[in-house]
Structure 1
Amino acid sequence: MALSTLVATFLCTIVLPILLFLVAVKLWEVYMIRGRDPTCRSPLPPGSMGLPFIGETLQLILQRRKFLRMKRQKYGCIYRTHLFGNPTVRVMGADNVRQILLGEHKLVAVQWPASVRTILGSDTLSNVHGTQHKNKKKAIMRAFSRDALEHYIPVIQEEVRSAVKEWLESDSCVLVYPEMKRLMFRIAMRILLGFDPDQIKTDEHELVEAFEEMIKNLFSLPIDVPFSGLYRGLKARNFIHSKIEENIKKKILDSDQEKKHRDALQQLMDSSRKNGEPFSMQAIKESATELLFGGHETTASTATSLVMFLGLNPDVVRKLRQELKEKGVDLQGQSLNIEVLEQLKYTGCVIKETLRINPPVPGGFRVALKTFELNGYQIPKGWNVIYSICDTHDVADVFPNKEEFQPERFMAKPSENSSRFSYIPFGGGSRMCVGKEFAKVLLKIFLVELTLQSDWTLLNGPPTMKTGPTVYPVDNLPTKFSHYSRN
């Protein structure tokens, strides 16, 4: 009798819940697959939908690259999953990504996860469509024109030189990734939003911390309850908005503003007035926050990767210095300008190779406007589509020895058979990154100042890289800097 009671207890407390859980997972999978369009004969992509309701979101958040690598190895270049509350198809490979990026407004439309839309806001460039997107993009592009970039160069040089000087004077090791975020944040605040240097010094620590918190919770479950990721992200966002609002009000009251250079924030304010739109403080704050995110988080990631790759490849540093010497670039009075920067071809290739291996943004989000076919599979209407930048670079046949850091590969002209969608660190199509040229100028100046002033050693060797939401080293890249000796 005791044995039968024990068996019954075991079945009820352990076996039955497991069976019910497995049945629930299977029913969830069947329910999700029923979302396929019966009018389309093509099958859904292979894959799995994960746990009921939360899908595979937690696995992605916790494992990131490991999860994505496992999925690619198991299912190939197109597979289905369930992320951030929506059935999703993940896509990689030049031909597949080409169809997605060129299908904007016809097959797909941009749609970031609900948490991203909630935190960044609905009026940001990445979330608006049609005429509104066109007008915002046009306004921001004026802030990244050739003339505007020329105006930014002295500010970038000043900030980079100051940062490198601090690193050289440091007796202990420098944690490169946090330092890069501070540096790029100051540059973005000054150039994109027009903050005064003294104002940045006053608010820098609190603002950087708030941005850290906001970005950390950007991709989270869309549940706004106390202590949830979304709740913390919104709280940090609101603090950032309060500081940006102070600066906007200052700009409105500044009677001499017409005589000054127009930063990106001012361009957005001017554009709103020219288009006869009612002034919306919330819309401007959201756009400014997006500019700060795009203008400093991605460049901080890439600058950190540059320090890492160059620290691991001293021969590349020697070639960089040789190019600077040949072009007459030095620290004794050489004023950088757009023309000089454009002549630094090898320097540009170092940046391109860094972006190939470690693109700061891993991909982009879209939603299917209608059911369509992609490489033999159906993408149902209403499903999310994620195109992968990092995986597309990994599977591209045009990059032999893809594990090796070889900037020279970009010195040659691309072959006629290579697709321009094999290399997409800035995305593509009508949604290509508007700050692409700004990023290139900033990173070239960074490399010039870094290599002419310093030598450095990575104290932990090659780091493990993680994504959240941009690529970064888990150990923050501890590095020892020393003065570069030209002898």
Structure 2
Amino acid sequence: MDYLAVVVALVVTASSIAIHLLARAKKAQPANLPPGSLGLPVIGQSLSLLRAMRGDGGSRWIQDRIDRYGPVSKLSLFGTPTVLLAGPAANKFMFFSSALSTRQPRSVQRILGENSILDLHGADHRRVRGALLEFLRPDMLKMYVGRIDGEVRRHLEENWAGRATVTVLPLMKRLTFDIISALLFGLERGGVRDALAGDFVRMIEGMWAIPANLPFTAFSRSLKASGRARRVLEGITREKKAKQLEHGKAASRNNDLITCLLSLRDDHGERLLTDEEIVDNAMVALIAGHDTSSILMTFMVRHLANDDATLAAMVQEHEEIARNKGDGEALTWEDLTKMKFTWRVAQETLRIVPPVFGNFRRALEDVEFDGYSIPKGWQVFWTANVTHMNASIFQEPTKFDPSRFENQTASAAPPCSFVAFGGGPRICPGIEFSRIETLVTMHHLVRQFRWKLCCKENTFVRDPMPSPPRGLPIEIERRTPP
């Protein structure tokens, strides 16, 4: 009986302590937190969301949550308390509020590094963003059109011409990787580039994962691949720094991104970025410039296979441009300005299948939105599809209609509704670079080839980027030149 009494006393004591701690935790939290649940410790709703993304792209999961709790709800993602916000007003709050800073999941931070533009704010963010924009200035981009044109021509000749079938997504990813390797890192084709390409694919696989560095997990494989990729970029940075010291002012900053970043100085003549900052942001540029463009072009190919009218209008636009050029003459910046219909097709593709599912911010202080409290340190999460597929914003949202973007100043869509590239001070700095890649590639693709889909399913999964079934295999044949 004495033993039983001790056990009962311990249980009562433990229960009392637990109730006391829960009461204190509840008292410490604001009374007007959003509706919802944080779920299990650490795991929260992470696995549920990841399963949904790999099932139907995740949009239904988000919409079900909005239907249940409304446009503001609390949950836990990747080990952190989170508030999901939905709608144009929420997007505007996310992009412009000074109380929020970008916040990537811990898995992304560990893979890309602590000094990436994705997680900087204030003066550090402005400094790094300004440095990246120095490389992405319009006058610099104009010089890269011809080099991108050469990479696209070579890629299509080596990987598309003479084949009966190709798989689009991996080929588009390799094309954009080769373009970025050449223009951003000055890395020529060969074994180093091939190894970096393989590590890059493995690096992506664990970016949205529970950050448990255990053997045989996607996150563990991504960390190892990230380490190898980082060592390659560190070696490239050292080589280019040595070359700059050797050649002095004669070394041109126009050659590639790393050379450009190494050459930048502040008002006191000191380097604007450290080597570590350059490597971390080169990793970000590798991902940002690779996945978005390759996925966009893959889904354009998928749509055009079943939309004869849109394809015919694109072919006509590109044939008119080609008629005014000499045989084999590279595209120019002026040629790209004439590809207005093609870019509208790209924008409509981005609206229906945005490459980036959503993104995170972190509350720098206690902040309120729509009557609900968001405590300091919590994540805030937004997704593009909530507004992109809203029938009250885009009429018949499932219908593919490039004319939506014909005259955007007259569009009825409220600000911060089309957010494929984000918005506000952190809008993607590589928009124009992505536009060049897309327009140049589609120019040569629609003029040289016809294609049919091998898979009829009009579906895709996210892992975390969208991917069509089997990578989109297609049957192709050469077009007869007009």
Fold match by TM threshold 0.5: yes
CA distance change for structure 1 residues 279 and 397 in 2, over 3 Å: closer, same or farther? closer
Residue equivalent to 1:169: 161
Residue equivalent to 1:219: 208
Structure 1: 5+ residue runs without aligned partners?
1-25
Equivalent of 2:47 in 58, 61, 75? 58
Helix, strand or coil for the counterpart of 1:188? Answer: helix
2:26 corresponds to 1:37: no
Helix, strand or coil for the counterpart of 1:192? Answer: helix
Helix, strand or coil for the counterpart of 1:421? Answer: coil
Residue equivalent to 1:386: 381
Structure 2: 5+ residue runs without aligned partners?
1-18
Residue equivalent to 2:331: 336
Equivalent of 1:369 in 359, 364, 371? 364
Helix, strand or coil for the counterpart of 1:312? Answer: coil
Conserved? CA contact 2:176–2:437, under 8 Å? no
Residue equivalent to 1:258: 251
CA distance change for structure 1 residues 29 and 179 in 2, over 3 Å: closer, same or farther? farther
Give the CA deviation at 1:112.
0.9
Conserved? CA contact 1:29–1:49, under 8 Å? no
Residue equivalent to 1:269: 262
Conserved? CA contact 1:136–1:268, under 8 Å? no
CA distance change for structure 1 residues 334 and 370 in 2, over 3 Å: closer, same or farther? same
CA distance in 1, matches of 2:372, 2:126: 32
Conserved? CA contact 1:143–1:262, under 8 Å? no
Residue equivalent to 1:422: 417
What are the within-5 Å matches in structure 2 for residues 309-458 of structure 1? Answer: 309-327=303-321, 328=323, 332-395=327-390, 397-415=392-410, 417-458=412-453
CA distance in 1, matches of 2:375, 2:410: 35
Conserved? CA contact 1:225–1:231, under 8 Å? yes
2:110 corresponds to 1:112: no
Residue equivalent to 1:475: 470
Give the CA deviation at 1:131.
1.8
Equivalent of 1:125 in 117, 122, 125? 117
CA distance in 2, matches of 1:51, 1:67: 18
Aligned AA (1:46): P
Residue equivalent to 1:154: 146
Residue equivalent to 1:193: 185
CA distance in 1, matches of 2:25, 2:397: 37
Residue equivalent to 2:84: 90
Aligned AA (1:418): A
Residue equivalent to 2:237: 248
CA distance in 1, matches of 2:325, 2:441: 13
- Greater displacement, 126-135 / 276-285: 276-285
CA distance in 2, matches of 1:375, 1:175: 46
Conserved? CA contact 2:41–2:79, under 8 Å? no
CA distance in 2, matches of 1:118, 1:33: 31
Aligned AA (1:430): P
Conserved? CA contact 1:214–1:233, under 8 Å? yes
Give the CA deviation at 1:330.
6.3
Give the CA deviation at 1:170.
4.7
Helix, strand or coil for the counterpart of 1:378? Answer: strand
- Greater displacement, 234-243 / 69-78: 69-78
Conserved? CA contact 1:94–1:396, under 8 Å? no
Conserved? CA contact 1:135–1:271, under 8 Å? no
CA distance change for structure 1 residues 134 and 114 in 2, over 3 Å: closer, same or farther? same
Identity %: 29
Helix, strand or coil for the counterpart of 2:74? Answer: strand
Matched residue count:
453
CA distance in 2, matches of 1:225, 1:168: 40
CA distance in 1, matches of 2:409, 2:25: 42
CA distance change for structure 1 residues 33 and 299 in 2, over 3 Å: closer, same or farther? farther
- Greater displacement, 340-349 / 320-329: 320-329
CA distance change for structure 1 residues 44 and 450 in 2, over 3 Å: closer, same or farther? same
What TM-score, normalized by structure 2, do the two folds share?
0.87
- Greater displacement, 113-122 / 60-69: 60-69
Give the CA deviation at 1:413.
3.7
Helix, strand or coil for the counterpart of 1:385? Answer: strand
CA distance in 2, matches of 1:402, 1:33: 42
CA distance in 2, matches of 1:387, 1:302: 20
**What is the alpha-carbon root mean square deviation over aligned residues?**
2.6
Give the CA deviation at 1:32.
8.0
- Greater displacement, 271-280 / 426-435: 271-280
Conserved? CA contact 2:163–2:476, under 8 Å? no
CA distance change for structure 1 residues 260 and 283 in 2, over 3 Å: closer, same or farther? closer
Helix, strand or coil for the counterpart of 2:160? Answer: helix
CA distance change for structure 1 residues 463 and 428 in 2, over 3 Å: closer, same or farther? same
Conserved? CA contact 2:210–2:219, under 8 Å? yes
CA distance in 2, matches of 1:303, 1:27: 56
Helix, strand or coil for the counterpart of 2:397? Answer: coil
